[in-house]
Structure 1
Amino acid sequence: MRTSLFLPLLLLPYALPAQDPAQYVKPIIGTQKMGHTYPGATVPFGMVQLSPDTDTIPYEMNGKYNPDVYKYCAGYQYTDKTIVGFSHTHFSGTGHSDLGDFLIMPTTGPLQLNPGTADKPESGYRSRFSHEHETAEAGYYKVRLDDHNILAELTATNRVGLHRYTFPQADQAHIILDLVSGIYNYDKKNVWTFVRVENDTLITGYRQTSGWARTRTLYFAMVFSKPIKQYGHQNLDSSVYKGFYRKFDQTSNFPEMAGRRITAWFDFDTKAGEQLQIKFALSPVSTAGALRNLAAEAPGWDFEAAKRKSREDWNRELSKVTVKALSENDLINFYTALYHTYLSPTTYMDVDGAYRGLDQLNHQAEGFTNYTTFSLWDTYRALHPLFNILQPRRNADMVRSMLEHYNQSVHKMLPVWSHHANENWCMIGYHSVSVIADAIVKGNIRGYDAMQALEACANTARYKKYDGLEYYMELGYVPEDKNSSSVSKTLEYAYDDWCIAQVAKKLGRTDLYNEFIKRSQNYRHVYDASTGFMRPKLSNGSFRKEFDVLSTHGQGFIEGNAWNYSLYVPQYPAEMIEMMGGKKQFTQHLDSLFTMHLPDAFFAETEDITRDGIIGNYVHGNEPAHHAAYLYNWTGAPWKTQERVRMILEKMYKPASDGLGGNDDCGQMSAWYLFSTLGFYPVCPGSTAYALGSPAIRSASLQLENGKTFTVEAVDQSPQNVYVRKVELNGKPLQQRFISHSDVMGGGKLVFYMSRKPTR
């Protein structure tokens, strides 16, 4: 299979075979340019993400930030020609990174313990490879390592990575275990590493790092399918040889290896075509936990059975949506997007429920699965709302995981961006509030106390030491001269406050409702009627004089500019439109967003925006305007929503390695695609309404956890028929451009009648 080739567009209806939707998943999509996805093996929401790393880039060069690190957030870039090895943890689609734990590389010939360089791979253990001999599927990855003539195959369970390496005849066959390597390779990232050779097939140990997550410990248990001939290690931290340990030669066949920068090696003799297998289990708690995970999930050596089980796991989750599409490429786009939405958040506990908490103590998950990897500034928008439809039990467990984070937090704050028992404090807002509110308002309350969740939301929103909140609570806005990105923060805090008010209203807490519904109006304080844009305000109450509506730097915004963020009042779209001059003027503003021409300076001032991800001034890869195309539904011009949505779908999503117009951001970009392809979108999570758009499939059936089926059908669907003539819900014409969450979860049928001309 060639991962770089995809099927041509065919304008015939394609129905998905019910048994194997995983056949349409192409994990290679998004691995080039800004997508930052990884192509390796994992299972839905799995703790192990076993994937190739094509380079390791220093975070700093000559004491300065190295911009090349941005390319390697997921460890893999499609255009690279070499593979360094296969590590066991990866983020999917992020704009920052960490992880890349426990890199394994099989080699032959003279032992080399450094990775070498991409231009001279023979200088280290890395290897050239070709996409002609690479396969990436749901739960399975295969590649030929050309320099070593080794076929590498990977699959996974939730907590165990399984490797199968087919060697040539060699009396110098090695397995390299590099505990120095990591994504972003921060200087002094490794706090400590430890490897223990338990016997001639079993290795245990751990790795402590201080990277994006300041304090992170991950334990492992590694088992070989045949005995080790000999082993040893290289320690780049020579200080550990001082004192007592000088009595031993630790570099060869010494059963304990410890230090900050350890690379271990294990030698074997291999016959031509001999397969060496490795099982590598992870645990957030202990090596004993890793061994229990190994025994529970991968007790035998049947790689093919494990591979089949992984695919079955994927088919079970993917088959929750059955699609009829216009082309096979559409099926590839759809099911790969669904696959990407199921990559995170990730499981973060052992099979017995043990996990490491934010307080760095060990805890027990009673009656729920503990999750980590919460990229909440991105995923509150569409990913978690999608889970409330397709994965409500998991999403409830994710809410419970956030509440446990709150209980373990010395700040008594819900997560902002958390992973592996750490809070990264990345991005702005307190959008766990939105995720919790969306679940409660939509009735997804199971395994947690809704009133306690409300209190956690309120306390988070009152924590004055957090990111300008003291000024926001005092002045009603964040002043730019006191705290940067002030306009974005004011707008996002106001939205989150509205979410808290909705939960308070549902639970009968009038006091909290009154407090936070008032705060939700704070967006008005940063609107400048003289310019028609949201604008940074100073602590003296005046607007800052220096103001550039197109600039993304130093103007009071983050990952956006005044054009994008002036549209960000999802809780009050009608009021926002009126405030900005009414429907006609606002429609013109929206039109300009999609059609204007940006100057070259716009692209030069930020590293993570390229022309590939932009339509006019609409930056699809940066989430603040993800709801923008749907705002025409409030201006009396819904046909423009339909037109824009279909345009974005066509331009930003393709079945190719560079097929994502921006970071997938832990599934948010893919969730936008899925909702929009189905014909509706959650403009304001925390409400029960979905705005209608223009479906891009012929039909889709959603198999819901409550046993009901919700079906979407598009009559007269075609690439040209992007407009909606009329909509029926359960046989009755819809008079508005919205449906409710209860309409979906109650089952039934939503029918769009498509047309080549807009209905005005």
Structure 2
Amino acid sequence: MKKTFISLLILLQSTAFAQTKNTPNLIPFVKPIIGTQKMGHTFPGATVPFGMVQLSPDTDTLSYEKNGKYNPDMYRYCAGYQYDDRTIVGFSHTHFSGTGHSDLGDFLIMPTTGALQLNPGTANNPAGGYRSAFSHANELAEPAYYKVKLDDHNITAELTASNRVGFHQYTFPASDQSHIILDLMAGIYNYENKNVWTFVRVENDTLITGYRQTTGWARTRTVYFAMSFSKPFYQYGSQNNSKKEVYRGFWGRFDQAHNFPEMAGRQLRAYFDFKTTEGEKIKIKFALSPVSTEGALRNMRTEIPHWNFDQVKQESQSLWNKELSKVTVEMLNADEKINFYTGVYHAFLGPTTYMDVDGSYKGLDQNIHKANGFTNYTTFSLWDTYRALHPLFNVLQPKRNADMVQSMLAHYDQSVHKMLPVWSHYANENWCMIGYHSVPVIADAIMKGNAPFDAMKALEACATTARHKSFDGIGYYMEQGYVPDDKSSSSVSKTLEYAYDDWCIAQMAKKLNRMDLYEEFSKRALNYKNVYDASIGFMRPKLSNGSFKTQFDVLSTHNQGFIEGNAWNYSLYVPHDPAAMIQMMGGDKRFIPHLDSLFTMDLPDKFFAETEDITRDGIIGNYVHGNEPAHHVAYLYNWTTQPWKTQDRIRMILKKMYHPTPDGLGGNDDCGQMSAWYIFSSLGFYPVCPGSEQYALGSPAVKTASIQLENGKVFTIEAKSQSDKNVYVQKVLLNGKPLTQRYITHTDILNGGNLVFYMASKPVKK
């Protein structure tokens, strides 16, 4: 009876904690393992919403080069983990979620037993190193918690995290040879000379500090750490594996040092030895800082001042419940509910916090700055995330999104070029992808009234960035009204994306009464017309002499003027003026069959041969859902006389591209953009044109949804007669009144209220 009472008490306490203040427990509906197989490039490890630490297993560490050439296998390991792998190398503290490029993987820790090994071994020969086999049967991934058994060492690994601190808990067997390895060589996007320098300092028998400076995708990146053990180690050492460096100290050469308190080098691994009893737990707190080891230690002592692993897990999962419950839904089945909340989870992984608890961070100028009055963020994959992720934040995370804009403006202030970020992380600009897509993020915030910052300064930063003639063909674009293909690659894509960004600047300028800028950028926003070839009905690369390129293939993605798409995809990219685009392309009579065929045509084999990051299972016809330029395309029927086709296409894409399985994403999640598309489309509307107040209507997949807004109001969505067959919308009521247009506005949402869709199995074709 006593045991039963105690068990019941524990259960009631756990349930009460999970549902504090009537917050539902949504943790069971999040499966971080989704997207870890094939192209999703997500990670399954422990992190908190927008956290600086992403503590996750790495299943391999590959070299950037293989036989002197680029190693294509690197692409599989953008997040460090691939579901099909059968060994774990260790657990590192920084990871991208869903990107198409690799970096990070800092400070890999691996617990081992038996004879000390200081190399990772290989997947084919795991016994030749410290890595370990594992089974998915002994693996558990939840928000803020990861657990796995390391079979070769008989160690159970558990991970949780606060914002800036990773918390490890390793349950060891009885052994006089138990080790914790700290590998500063390991990383994602490895190649020779990636490590500029690494340093480890043994402060005492439980505290280690140091840093890692790398060059790679980010050209210069320094991360500091503080590492604390729950139990003193009885000895320690290091090995420097550089072939070119020999280090000498007071006691001679120490390319392998034992109990030496300061370790430094480019290719460094350290180890810490323990004697353990059966079932003994060794815990590690590992804090990061962009500024200093002192900052890392302060972060650790502030966020996790104790050794209660379960408490941190519980508190961090409570943070996730709070964020997940900003939108509560009922779906047709449990699988779709898992898809939805895993989508919210992935959407809230980044951008990531980039500052110490006192607000200090390293800026783009490599100096130390302090974020006054805002949280500084990094990891801006803007070519992807301006489309739906940041608009989603303006609904669900407006305060955070405003802070992200302030982070972008700080980046601008620190830039010697006076440019807003393009693709930035860890105080670096990577110059990855095209466009100046900080602009639509800033415009969307300003146009939707979420601008607790200097909006006029933000407008000036946008205009200055857009006039930067030396950047990526902008000078040609300004002079000729398009980017010439013989002067700059991806010329058509750049022209189209610049034109949209310019429209965003014009809208901000009009709202802020800068009519000079409004006129300048409204004119530039029409430049999309300059690359349309009416004779073939497609956007087409144009040369600097004004003629169209003659060698042209509308299906090819190789040297045809486009990036991550072809003429079929990009000819539909005019999000700021779809009605005019449709008329330009021949009106409904020509446009609707063109759009229909995008979803039904068969692509030739050469398309897949040219595009290494696309697999056939991520494509519907020529519609490539994993590549963002197509994300708005299914909604374009709303600007025609056949809007019901938007409804049909949306529900089809939701079913085909998202599944509650490891391979459940039909492309890179791209820092949450794929997930944001799913969330919006499931709710029944989508931001076709960020920078506008409008959300195009689609076909909701939810039965009901309730959005808890930061202003205290609630916006609810209901789909009457919802089913897998009833994908067509018969009518829509907003607050009891019929909608006469095919969109709702951001103001409609912020005012709170009720949006009701009436669903049926046949379309309304009036």
TM-score of the two chains, using structure 1 as the length reference? 0.97
Cα distance in 1 for partners of 2:318, 2:262 equals 39
Matches within 5 A, 1:519-558: 519-558=524-563
Cα distance in 1 for partners of 2:308, 2:107 equals 23
Give the match for residue 746 of structure 1: 751
Cα distance in 2 for partners of 1:246, 1:401 equals 48
Instruction: Please tell me whether residue 218 in structure 1 is matched to residue 231 in structure 2.
Output: no
Give the match for residue 630 of structure 1: 635
One-letter code aligned to 1:398: M
Instruction: Please tell me whether residue 655 in structure 1 is matched to residue 660 in structure 2.
Output: yes
Contact 1:190/1:260 (8 A) holds in 2: yes
Identify the match of residue 612 of structure 1 among 609, 617, 637. Answer: 617
Runs of 4+ in 1 over 3 A off after TM superposition: 238-250
Contact 1:18/1:322 (8 A) holds in 2: no
Contact 2:39/2:76 (8 A) holds in 1: yes
Instruction: Please tell me whether residue 277 in structure 1 is matched to residue 277 in structure 2.
Output: no
Give the match for residue 211 of structure 2: 206
The superposition leaves residues 296-336 of structure 1 with CA deviations (integer Å, 9 ceiling, x where unpaired) of 00100000000000100000000101111111111100000
Cα shift at 1:600: 1.2
One-letter code aligned to 1:732: K
Cα shift at 1:202: 0.1
Matches within 5 A, 1:329-368: 329-368=335-374
One-letter code aligned to 2:600: T
Matches within 5 A, 1:115-126: 115-126=120-131
Identify the match of residue 286 of structure 1 among 285, 292, 295. Answer: 292
The 1:507/1:245 distance shift into structure 2, 3 A limit, reads farther
Cα shift at 1:186: 2.0
One-letter code aligned to 2:355: M
Identify the match of residue 325 of structure 2 among 308, 319, 328. Answer: 319
Cα distance in 1 for partners of 2:611, 2:447 equals 38
The 1:550/1:248 distance shift into structure 2, 3 A limit, reads closer
SS of equivalent to 2:170: strand
SS of equivalent to 1:152: strand
Cα distance in 2 for partners of 1:756, 1:18 equals 35
Cα distance in 1 for partners of 2:539, 2:191 equals 38
One-letter code aligned to 2:716: T
Cα distance in 1 for partners of 2:668, 2:749 equals 29
One-letter code aligned to 1:184: Y
SS of equivalent to 1:241: coil
Matches within 5 A, 1:117-156: 117-156=122-161
Cα distance in 2 for partners of 1:748, 1:363 equals 42
One-letter code aligned to 1:391: Q
Instruction: Please tell me whether residue 444 in structure 1 is matched to residue 453 in structure 2.
Output: no
Matches within 5 A, 1:37-48: 37-48=42-53
One-letter code aligned to 2:286: F
The superposition leaves residues 178-224 of structure 1 with CA deviations (integer Å, 9 ceiling, x where unpaired) of 00000021221000000000000000000000010000000000000
Which runs of 5 or more structure 1 residues have no equivalent in the other structure?
1-16
Identify the match of residue 703 of structure 2 among 690, 698, 719. Answer: 698
Contact 2:23/2:322 (8 A) holds in 1: no
Cα shift at 1:239: 5.2
Identify the match of residue 255 of structure 1 among 258, 261, 264. Answer: 261
Matches within 5 A, 1:166-565: 166-237=171-242, 240-242=245-247, 244=249, 247=252, 249=254, 251-446=257-452, 448-565=453-570
Cα shift at 1:473: 0.5
One-letter code aligned to 2:549: R
Give the match for residue 27 of structure 2: 22
What CA RMSD, in Å, does the superposition of the two structures yield over aligned residues? 0.9
Cα distance in 2 for partners of 1:664, 1:298 equals 31
Contact 1:584/1:635 (8 A) holds in 2: no
Give the match for residue 13 of structure 1: none
Cα distance in 1 for partners of 2:749, 2:280 equals 53
One-letter code aligned to 1:78: Y
Cα shift at 1:605: 1.2
One-letter code aligned to 1:680: F
Instruction: Please tell me whether residue 708 in structure 1 is matched to residue 713 in structure 2.
Output: yes
Cα shift at 1:585: 1.0
Give the match for residue 60 of structure 1: 65
The superposition leaves residues 727-747 of structure 1 with CA deviations (integer Å, 9 ceiling, x where unpaired) of 000000011111000001110
Which runs of 5 or more structure 2 residues have no equivalent in the other structure?
1-21
Cα shift at 1:601: 1.2
Cα distance in 2 for partners of 1:229, 1:333 equals 47
Cα shift at 1:244: 4.7
Contact 1:203/1:223 (8 A) holds in 2: yes
SS of equivalent to 2:285: strand
Give the match for residue 727 of structure 2: 722
Cα shift at 1:18: 4.5
Cα distance in 2 for partners of 1:349, 1:574 equals 44
What is the percent sequence identity of the aligned residues?
75
Instruction: Please tell me whether residue 159 in structure 1 is matched to residue 155 in structure 2.
Output: no
The 1:171/1:315 distance shift into structure 2, 3 A limit, reads same
SS of equivalent to 2:103: coil
Cα shift at 1:97: 1.3
The superposition leaves residues 268-287 of structure 1 with CA deviations (integer Å, 9 ceiling, x where unpaired) of 00000000000000000000
SS of equivalent to 2:366: coil
Cα distance in 2 for partners of 1:584, 1:315 equals 49
One-letter code aligned to 1:594: F
Contact 1:700/1:711 (8 A) holds in 2: yes
Cα distance in 1 for partners of 2:247, 2:523 equals 64
Aligned residues: 743
Cα distance in 2 for partners of 1:104, 1:461 equals 44
Contact 1:149/1:168 (8 A) holds in 2: yes
Cα distance in 1 for partners of 2:304, 2:365 equals 31
One-letter code aligned to 1:629: A
Give the match for residue 3 of structure 2: none
Contact 1:171/1:270 (8 A) holds in 2: yes
Cα distance in 1 for partners of 2:296, 2:73 equals 34
Give the match for residue 639 of structure 1: 644
Cα shift at 1:399: 0.1
Cα distance in 2 for partners of 1:644, 1:367 equals 44
Cα shift at 1:237: 2.1
One-letter code aligned to 1:685: P
Cα distance in 2 for partners of 1:309, 1:676 equals 31
Matches within 5 A, 1:66-85: 66-85=71-90
